[in-house]
Amino acid sequence: MLPAAEAEAKILDLVVSPAAAEQVPLESALGRVLAQAIPSPLDFPHWDNSAMDGYAVRYADVQAASTESPVALALTETIPAGRSPTQPVGPGQAARILTGSMLPTGADTVVMQEVTRREGEQVLVLEVPEPQQFVRHRGSFCRADDPLMQAGLAIGGPELAVLASAQCVQVPVFPQPRVAILSTGDELVMPGTALQPGQIVDSNQYALAALVRQAGAIPVPLGIVADQPQALRAAIQSALAQADVIVSSGGVSVGDYDYVDEILADLGATLHIRAVAVKPGKPLTVATFPAERGSAPLYFGLPGNPVSALVTFWRFVVPALRKRSGLATGWGPAFVPATTRHPLKAGGQRETYLWGRLLSTSAGYEFELASGGHSSGNLINLAGTNALAVVPVGTTQIDGGETVQVMTVS
């Protein structure tokens, strides 16, 4: 059994680079990964402008201003945002200016209106400003041709705002990985089916498809595969032809009907991982295929128990999908220290993941263990889970009130 960190590193080494960039409209770029650096087409700001409502002045005229001896300046014009100044500011003059308005020629400082007094066509400056105060200089945020954003960045709301400001209406992004999802087991049936004795509903197909989508990839659900070698072989071959990554659940342990590893080897795959030292989720198969076998370089065989399937997906598959999507950094899961509200118990032989909720309090992060049994088959108390408390190898209990490392999940 590989330790979790070692297994994660091995998996990330197996991930191939995403394909060449594709162009998508700006409005469709949310959640995608930037495939090319975007150079700035303009200076930002585009021109010198005001960061405050007030008056554009020459610092030389107001450097002795005070409440007792205000400096009187003649007003030349009012410059609304979106309008160009019509005349320069000369000695003894000022222009009324608003936030975002262009700075007129001759002015080098903005005096905020709170330290002025208007008297007819004059403004009295009652306080000495700092030189160049409240002036946003052209190009001070970014110069034309400088990079706005680097490749490998996930596009969220702020990135969309930057792209829109740069008038980037077509965005180069990496193609989203296509992830085929198989559920193996004769006992599985689809939701809505009348259950017969011994049958269970295939919940993994739905959970894994949702998690694939949350990871920024495209799920390709391929349904339930019977515990028959020929059926499994045909399903994997079909998945190879239409997906970049394959995720199956079930069939990777040591039972009489666990055929996944055997079929993968028969198809020419190289099995890199057969088990990991985690609980739940010890059975984990990770394999790669020769290039000529299809478009899927990476296969994940997850355990069939629902909790084991989700924990191993969060811990090992999500980092691979993040890297495969083109993200430059941040592939692995995030761990934060938190105070556990409950005792956390483990066997000590494997890294143990206990599910529950990470809460932000005035005292810092706290972990609330999900109520009920923490069996790998108990899907019910997974509802509401947003974090996994990690009990390290060699530790059998972390008492309530102590600090524990918590892995955030989504």
Does residue 72 sit within a domain?
yes
For 226-256, what is each residue's pLDDT tens digit?
Answer: 989 999 999 999 999 999 999 999 988 766 6
**Which of 126, 116, 115, 71 is CA-nearest to residue 93?**
71
- Using alpha carbons, list the distances in angstroms from residue 107 to 104, 277, 391: 6, 68, 64
Does residue 277 sit within a domain?
yes
Does residue 103 sit within a domain?
yes
Q: Count up the domains in the chain and report the number.
A: 4
Task: Please report, for the domain that includes residue 157, its CATH number.
Answer: 3.90.105.10
Using the 3D structure, point to which of 87, 116, 136 is the last residue of a domain.
Answer: 136
315 and 344, same structural domain?
no
74 and 125, same structural domain?
yes
Does residue 330 sit within a domain?
no
288 and 245, same structural domain?
yes
What's the pLDDT at 112?
97
227 and 315, same structural domain?
yes
84 and 112, same structural domain?
yes
Reduced to 3 states (helix: H, G, I; strand: E, B; else coil), residue 62 is helix
- The one-character DSSP state at 128 is P
319 and 224, same structural domain?
yes
Task: Please report, for the domain that includes residue 232, its CATH number.
Answer: 3.40.980.10
318 and 235, same structural domain?
yes
166 and 32, same structural domain?
yes
For 304-329, what is each residue's pLDDT tens digit?
Answer: 999 999 999 999 999 999 999 999 99
Global confidence as pTM: 0.89
Domain hosting residue 79, numbered range: 49-136
d(CA 178, CA 219): 6
Which residues of the chain have a pLDDT value below 50? Answer: 293-294
What's the pLDDT at 336?
97
277 and 288, same structural domain?
yes
What's the pLDDT at 297?
79
What's the pLDDT at 74?
98
Task: Please report, for the domain that includes residue 61, its CATH number.
Answer: 2.170.190.11
Task: Please report, for the domain that includes residue 351, its CATH number.
Answer: 2.40.340.10
Does residue 122 sit within a domain?
yes
| Residue listed under structure tokens 């947003």 | 386
Q: Are 55 and 74 in contact (CB under 8 A)?
A: no
Does residue 11 sit within a domain?
yes
183 and 238, same structural domain?
yes
215 and 118, same structural domain?
no
195 and 123, same structural domain?
no
**Which of 311, 320, 319 is CA-nearest to residue 388?**
311
